[in-house]
Amino acid sequence: MDYSVLAQVYSKLESTPKRLEKTEIISKLLKKTPNDLLEKVIYLLQGTVFPKWDERKIGMSSQSILKTINSSTGATIHAIEKEWATKGDLGTVVESIIKNKKQTTLFSKKLTVTKVFENLMKLSELEGKGTVSKKIQLVTELITSATPLEAKYIARTVIEDLRIGVQDGVLRDAVTWTYFPRIKGINSNQEKAKLVSSMAELKKLNLSNYEALEASSEELAREIYNYFISQIEESYNLTNDFSEVALAAKHNKLHTLKMHVGKPVNPMLAIKAESIEQALEAVGSPLQAEHKLDGFRLQIHKKGKEVKLFTRRLENVTKQFQEIIPIITSHVNADDFILDSELVGVDSKTDMYLSFQNISQRIKRKHHIEKTAEHIKVEINAFDIIYKDGKVLIDLTQEERRKILEKIVKEEKHKIVLTKKLITSDPKEIEEFYKKSLAKGNEGIMLKSLQSKYVPGRRVGGWLKHKPVKETLDLVITGAEWGEGKRAKFLSSFTLSCIDNGKFLEVGKVGTGFKEKDDELSFAELTKILRPKIISEKGKEVKLKPYLVLEINYEELQKSPTYNSGFALRFPRAIRVRLDKSIKNIETLKRIKYYHSQQKK
């Protein structure tokens, strides 16, 4: 397949904001993609060549891509930078440079999807001396053979900023539309369709025989559609890899997809409980209450001797927490397993748990890992097990899984313990347990249904969380301003956004709560993290790729035309950096509206 086919698709996707149109465009592409290219095409649609939990990254800085454009087009760095400042996107810059330059030349070689994929793959494999120039060479090779449109998307892929608005939800729908029959009235208006009058009838059909189905009622059509979507979603939550899911769906083998030790599973999530009484009603009684610790979620994978550690965002943090690996191998009695846990910092002098802030610096640490490990000790607080010795345990009940966990974990204080639990039907006992947990410096309690399965990636109601009402929001930084005076080198005054159907909408700017130095909330530290995320600059104003999530305190939410969300925060104050949260976990516009309505009450 020529890369130009993909470039055309990118361009169409970029030009429509409509989700259904995007879904149809991708579905058409997947239909005509040959089997051997399916995985590659799906990764490239996500702007990458790896599943997102993979440690390898394409990783090329904007500076290197500037040099690449220079070496492949002959345009001077100064000219490229100038255009970049006005256009704000290196993809568009390279597109227009090549357009102007190549009017009279013929493109030497046609680029194929495979060629682009392979060169991108090689970028991640380079290490050591001369890496930068080798990377530039690999990308130059692509850009010199590229049409303007192809070059635009190669450049954007290389800097990991594809900007075609394809989120996981669109891809999930597109995979569903491609490999399950279409449904009349929902995603098809095909004449010839197999008539279906119940779910029972549907489940007996060999679906690969039908292009389209017609349900006997609108509700049934919806039910069938949701059923198809959930099949893809569940498979995705197990594997976190749409390429793998699409291949399995194409060959009718979704049921064979399994979680694998070594590949992270989307962790099960919790819903907020309104009160203890409501929780008892919602999850059934008796329930299992547990201390809710203020650390960060850690999924622990062990296969034979090999241990891998993943955060809630599926980042591999094995290197950062080397010191807990021997504890895992010696204190958990099983060969292969996946444990779910909270990793908490402990102050070895006072014996108290530290707050998340203290260990968060260890997550992103790339150098001096051992030194920080000595300073900031951590304790594993295991609360679930989802795989053991060849068996996937997610369909067992909470009660059964906890029993297995209790059997195999040998607890040792400050190394590995099980979360404190209480099984009861008595709201007073739960209240006491909650107070005790808070007194220990924990965040609150979790309230878990004894009967619930482990449902990867979903807030299904099997787990509730109960914590003091706190007026904080998780928002992503989408812009900033260069500071003044002694802060001129640093970004400050950060624009905060929430999310609405994949679009980021601004809710205000925050300039307080930050520290002068030696803190993850210092301007220097934030600037270090955010500088590579700069999309464009105009005067002092900087636009940033949504990446870094801040937890924000505020006095009030007001309706306001100043920001495109329609809301503005009064007196926002940064509390902490949430490296454990991805842009998928930030407040939605819906939540903001809800908080606004609650505050009026």
Residues that bind ligand AMP (CB under 6 A): 270, 290, 292-293, 297, 312, 342, 383, 419, 446, 465
DSSP 8-state assignment for residue 273: P
By C-beta, is 290 or 379 nearer to ligand AMP?
290
Residue 228 CA to residue 207 CA, distance in Å, equals 11
Please classify residue 60 by burial: count the beta carbons closer than 10 Å to its beta carbon, then call 0-12 exposed, 13-18 middle and 19+ buried: buried
| CB hemisphere CA count around 309 (13 angstroms) | 21
Q: How far is the CB of 280 from ligand AMP (least distance, A)?
A: 18
Catalytic residue among 292, 448, 465, 533: 292
Residue with smaller CB distance to ligand AMP, 224 or 446:
446
Residue closer to ligand AMP (CB basis): 29 or 298: 298
CB of 296 to ligand AMP, least distance (A): 6
Per-residue 3-state assignment (H helix, E strand, C coil) for 522-558: EHHHHHHHHHHHEEEEECCEEEECCCCEEEEECCEEE
Residues in the chain: 601
**For ligand AMP, which is the closer residue by CB, 242 or 337?**
337
* Alpha carbons 422 and 445: distance in angstroms, whole number: 10
Q: Which is nearer to ligand AMP, 156 or 465 (CB)?
A: 465
Q: How far apart are CA 571 and CA 599, in angstroms?
A: 15
Q: What is the phi/psi pair of residue 531, to 5°?
A: -55, -45
E strands present in 120-217: 182-183, 194-196, 212-215
For ligand AMP, the closer of residues 467 and 540 by Cβ is 467
Q: Which is nearer to ligand AMP, 179 or 383 (CB)?
A: 383
Distance, in Å, from the CA atom of 598 to the CA atom of 557, rounded to the nearest integer, reads 10
Q: Which is nearer to ligand AMP, 383 or 523 (CB)?
A: 383
- Minimum Å distance from CB 585 to ligand AMP? 8
User: What is the DSSP track for 363-416?
Assistant: HH--SSHHHHHHHSEEEEEEEEEEEETTEE-TTS-HHHHHHHHHHHB--BTTTE
Q: What is 20-70 written as a DSSP string? A: HHHHHHHHHHHHHS-HHHHHHHHHHHTT-SS-TT-S------HHHHHHHHH
C-alpha distance from residue 80 to each of 90, 100, 104, 145, 455 (Å): 8, 13, 21, 19, 49
Q: How far is the CB of 591 from ligand AMP (least distance, A)?
A: 12
**CB 164 to ligand AMP: min, Å:** 30
Among 68, 81, 76, smallest CA distance to 146 is for 68
Do the Cβ atoms of 145 and 107 come closer than 8 Å? yes
For tokens 């440079």, name the residue. 97
Cβ atoms 552, 475 nearer than 8 A: yes
Is 135 part of the annotated catalytic residue set?
A: no
For the bound state, the minimum distance from the C-beta of residue 155 to ligand AMP, rounded and expressed in Å, comes to: 36
What is the closest distance, in whole angstroms, from the C-beta atom of residue 472 to ligand AMP in the complex? 10
Closest approach of ligand AMP to the CB of residue 268, in Å: 8
Q: First-to-last CA distance in the chain?
A: 59
Catalytic machinery residues: 292
